[in-house]
A and B are shown apart, each in its own frame.
Chain A
Amino acid sequence: MRVKVISRVEEDYTRECKTDALRVHRNLDPELRPMQRATEYKRALNAVKLDKVFAKPLVGQFGGHADGVLCMAKSPTSLTELVSGDASGEIRIWDVPSRKTLRILSGHRGATRGVCVSKDGKLVVSCGDDATVRLWTLPKAQMGDMSDPTRKIPKVTTTAVWQQDNGFRDCDAHWGKNEFATAGATVQVWNMERGKPMHTFEWGVDTVLSVRWNPVESDIFASCGTDRSVALYDVRMETPLRKIIMQTKSTKLCWNPMEAFNFTVANEDTNLYSYDMRKMDIATCVHKDFVNTVMDIDYSPTGREFVAGSYDRTIRIFDYNAGHSKDCYHTKRMQRVFCTRFSMDGTYVFSASDDFNIRCWKADASAQLGTLSAREKRKHQYNASLKDRFKHMPEIRRIANHHHVPKAIHKATKLRRTMQDAETRKAKRRVAHAAPGAEKKEFKPARKKKILAEVE
């Protein structure tokens, strides 16, 4: 007779002393875990509820400006630096971790409309209503103890001032060269070492509102203006490349840093439109949800999401290919948002608003900050994949899609929905019931509807 029975000695299965780690034994047989699918569904439900419990996105605010903050710029070399300009002309350099002002750059005699930081992070370019472009050098001096309340904030004066005839609306530094572009009555390309623009592009007589360099194709940049146009330029050519005319004005635009042929414009009609620069007769995506003019947009360095701020006092975060926002941030005190920026590590979002404040938010409202242990990381990954797996279930979708918004915005959204539905209904009926022989009116999709013309 050969016999073997299970015979476990407790010492082999338990730790020797209390300081040892507990012993863990695994058996991956699915039969030991019946109803696994239901359990996972329950866990997904718990995870999505916990997300809402932990959704506390506001990290802090940067107080100090004495007027509405109109523009911001992030440094390409430093995670801790942020530059902002306000309507009184003051520019401040911020130390992000301590939320204190490092430097005040004063010189503008009208509102600062645009700031940008050069690619090496040493120069700040600003322009504004006083028709000047100003260059500022940032001294590399130790700032001392940031927590000291009696600390004096040093003032920096302009390195160079270049006066022009018309006010400026925006400026953007080149991603690779020592150049920048300004938008105003015309689009001008400047070298940081010369006092005169190298190129001037004109197309019609209207003001250009925003200009952005393409991060990959180093000679190409895009602009949008008050003539409702979104235009592409190439510095190697005398004239602008092409433009589209939309039904309403676009306020700002931003390139997707990872797919640099795609860019998104923030439009006055409350939507954002993503375009492929190779095929501008149709938008790749229309991003809806705001209820008032979208004032600014900025992509995350990952190119997977972007943040937009609106005149309706909210900022929203969108997936680059999603029609609706995945989150909406607002506070009681935040006024009209003029400028939004993603931090260079993609974890935070900055918003500058009319209430003289800059606010810092988490890009993912319920993200756990700080150093995570390996177990915590695994847990978050597990929860994320569970949420993804069951995202179509009605209960989970309902909880995940619920965002609290102020009552006024809630009402406005509802009203807009009603109006849009009626419009769509009417358009469809017009097509369906057109008299026989009458000119057929085409039903245009939203991606095409707002594009009036394409000009070469």
Chain B
Amino acid sequence: MARADALDAALETLDARTRALDAPRATDADDGEGGGGGGGKRRKRANEATATAKSIERDLRERAKKYVVGERVSSRLAGDKKVKAALRENQNLAEEAALKAAAHERWFANDEVGTLEAEEGERTYQYQQRDIVRAVDVNAAKKAFDLDVPGTGRYYVDYSRNGRELLLGSSEGALSMMQWQKHHLISETDARETVKDVKFLHNEQFYAAAQDRYTYIYDKRGLEVHCLDDHMHVNKLTFLPQHFLLCSVGTQGILRWQDTTYGKIVAQYRTKMGASNAMTHNNYNGVVHCGHKNGTVTLWSPNQGTPLVKMLCHRGEVKGVTIDKSGKYMVTSGQDGQVKVWDLRTYMPVHAYYSAQPSSHIQISQRGLLAVGWGSTVQIWKDALQIKQNSPYMKHQFSHGQKINSIAFCPYDDVLGVGHSRGFTSVLVPGAGEPNFDTFVANPFESKGQRRENEVARLLDKLPAETIQLDPDAVGKLRAVPKEVQAERRQLAIDAELSRRKDQRDKNEAKTKMKGKNRTSKRYRKKQLNVIDDKKLAKMEAKRLREAGITEKRGGVAAPGETAGAASTAPHAPDGVSKALRRFYK
């Protein structure tokens, strides 16, 4: 149905365009005729067509904004003529690509975004889940279900990247994976230990479970594949699918990134802020956000031992952190009962909501719906990130005593999964998921062959951990170092070298002077000092005389009264001749 509509719309657009193209020709013809009776009418029609074409163009440009990657750089910045031309050509190509993507958007679209609209005088949050289920088709109604297993612990939830598989882990140790839409249980296993979090790895073939002491990796059949004994006492797990990094944080407050392709721990850093219960990663740049007991949220990359950013978000413990798909907004919930929205471009608060009790379960869906859960209540807010809303979009109340333990939006579907103390509930949330999936990103109807190919392709595209930084577009860019900075660096290097040399000189001078005194030759020479011979006697005599004030001169003894420097004042030397030259005047 949606397709037929789209087709009609597209044909309309095409029609209007052709008309617009014909328009100038029609005007020319009118001029040639010299203005007949129908000329004015035709011109009017042509003008209308031009206006329509223009509005379509404007609309297309508006829609194309979404597809533009990167910013336009002024070609004036490039000095070289060829570089300038290449830059301009590339940017024009990119713009054209964005326009084409926008123009083809409706052809690619299979489905439309889910909606929930209230009747006159009603509000959407007044509708109960059973009302919604009754109003939708059978196929969709099957997605709302309840797994009621009281007494088996609190349940943790995770969906696979394509939204087909659901992973449940109970605090009592039961781990199960299912294809939830088909109600087909894939595997079930008992960890016989407390499970504190569960997470799918790159596809549904493996998942990680944070257990009492260590973290374990299980395969699809529920068999334990690895025991990650580095990840001890973990509270929260997150998986960076493009880097193949499993990240954990726990009661020790140590963040660890482990590469799941070859098992190496890429980095581990102490947060030095105690145990942490809130952690997630930013899809946009791969940076891990970690909430702490003192109310701060710290941003971490495996490339730096200290946080990239520290934000004081709450008075009291940060209980939940979540980030939207675009990486622009972060939502945190704290012990102070606030749910705050932050702009990650400025690290400033946008606005805040209150929850009745401190909420530790917040999630943002693909289409930007914000789910906040506390006690046995889940609230869902629509468009709540950019604008402050006054009332929630939906509400879901569990029966008293059903304590919410974990929530997760199912990707590419209008479903919110809630794990609680009596099992698991799947709630229909219209407008939560992205209706149009991309086969090469995540495919809910993936075949075995497609899954295998996809795995290989993604392994080839695996990003090194070094690419995790606040600005993901900085990868592959060359940074020009300004001349002043270069000069400063050069000066620093010169200074460092000079100071190094000075230090070395000082060190050499401070060295003990006794070095070499015990050498054989030195000892021999010293012994020789005690031997008295004629030469030495003469020397001693000369010394004695000198001390007595008598100077012995070459060729005779100086007359008494004549000083030692008498020779220098030879009478033959004219005035103005330097001392050194006087000996030549006799």
Contacts and interface: CB of A to CB of B under 8 A. Distances in A.
B392 interface: no
A40 B463 CA distance: 10
B410 to A, nearest CB: 10
Which among A5, A14, A22, A35 has the greatest number of chain B C-beta atoms within 10 A? A5
A6 B111 CA distance: 7
A42 interface: yes
B164 to A, nearest CB: 10
Nearest to B105: A28
A28 B67 contact: yes
B132 interface: yes
Interface in A377-406: 390, 392-393
Contacts of B443: 25
Contacts of B140: 5-7
Interface string A358-390: 000000000000000000000000000000001
A3 to B, nearest CB: 5
B118 A1 contact: yes
A393 B439 contact: no
B434 A34 contact: no
B568 to A, nearest CB: 43
Nearest to A14: B445
A435 interface: no
A3 B438 contact: no
B444 interface: yes
A439 interface: no
Contacts of B158: none
A31 B34 CA distance: 55
Nearest to A30: B69
B466 to A, nearest CB: 9
A29 interface: yes
A41 B463 CA distance: 9
Contacts of A38: 242, 463, 467, 472, 475-476
Contact of A25 (B110, B119, B476): B110
Contact of B115 (A2, A22, A30): A2
A25 B286 contact: no
Contacts of A438: none
Contacts, number: 145
A9 B139 contact: yes
Nearest to B429: A5
Interface residues of B, number: 66
Given A35-B463, A38-B463, A26 B438 contact: yes
A25 B122 contact: no
Contacts of A44: 476
B67 A6 contact: no
A10 interface: yes
B326 A31 contact: yes
A3 B136 contact: yes
A35 B467 contact: yes
B137 A7 contact: yes
B327 interface: yes
B437 A27 contact: yes
Contacts of B505: none
A41 B438 CA distance: 22
Contact of B441 (A14, A32, A40, A42): A32
A43 interface: yes
Contacts of B327: 34
Interface in B397-443: 412-414, 428, 430, 433-441, 443
B469 to A, nearest CB: 9
Interface in A151-191: none
A433 interface: no
B285 interface: yes
Contacts of A443: none
Contacts of A23: 439, 445
Contact of B116 (A1, A6, A390): A1
A27 B438 contact: yes
Contact of A41 (B116, B460, B476): B476
A5 B463 contact: no
A449 to B, nearest CB: 24
A27 B475 contact: no
B305 interface: no
Given A13-B445, A25-B438, A35-B285, A6 B472 contact: no
A41 B284 CA distance: 16
Contact of B428 (A5, A29, A39, A42): A5
Contacts of B436: 25, 27
Interface string A65-85: 000000000000000000000
Contacts of A418: none
B559 to A, nearest CB: 58
Contacts of A393: 476, 478
Contact of A30 (B67, B104, B139, B462): B67
Given A34-B327, A38-B463, A42-B462, A7 B139 contact: yes
Contacts of A424: none
A11 to B, nearest CB: 10
Contacts of A14: 445, 447
Given A1-B119, A7-B137, A10-B445, A35 B414 contact: no
B506 interface: no
B139 A3 contact: no
Contacts of B413: 6
Contact of A6 (B104, B433, B449): B433
Interface string A37-58: 1111111101000000000000
A1 B115 CA distance: 10
A278 interface: no
A6 B135 contact: no
Nearest to B478: A392
Contacts of A13: 110, 444-445
Nearest to A396: B476
Nearest to B449: A22
Given A38-B467, A43-B461, A3 B132 contact: yes
Which among A6, A8, A13 has the greatest number of chain B C-beta atoms within 10 A? A6
A237 interface: no
Contacts of B105: 28
Interface string B202-229: 0000000000000000000000000000
Cβ-closest 7 pairs across A and B? A7-B140, A41-B476, A38-B475, A5-B414, A38-B467, A27-B438, A2-B117
Interface of A: 1-10, 13-14, 22-44, 46, 390, 392-393
11 contacts: A1-B116, A6-B111, A7-B136, A27-B434, A27-B436, A28-B438, A29-B66, A35-B463, A38-B242, A43-B460, A393-B478
Given A3-B135, A26-B440, A35-B463, 10 more contacts: A1-B119, A5-B114, A5-B430, A25-B110, A28-B67, A28-B108, A29-B66, A33-B441, A35-B475, A38-B463
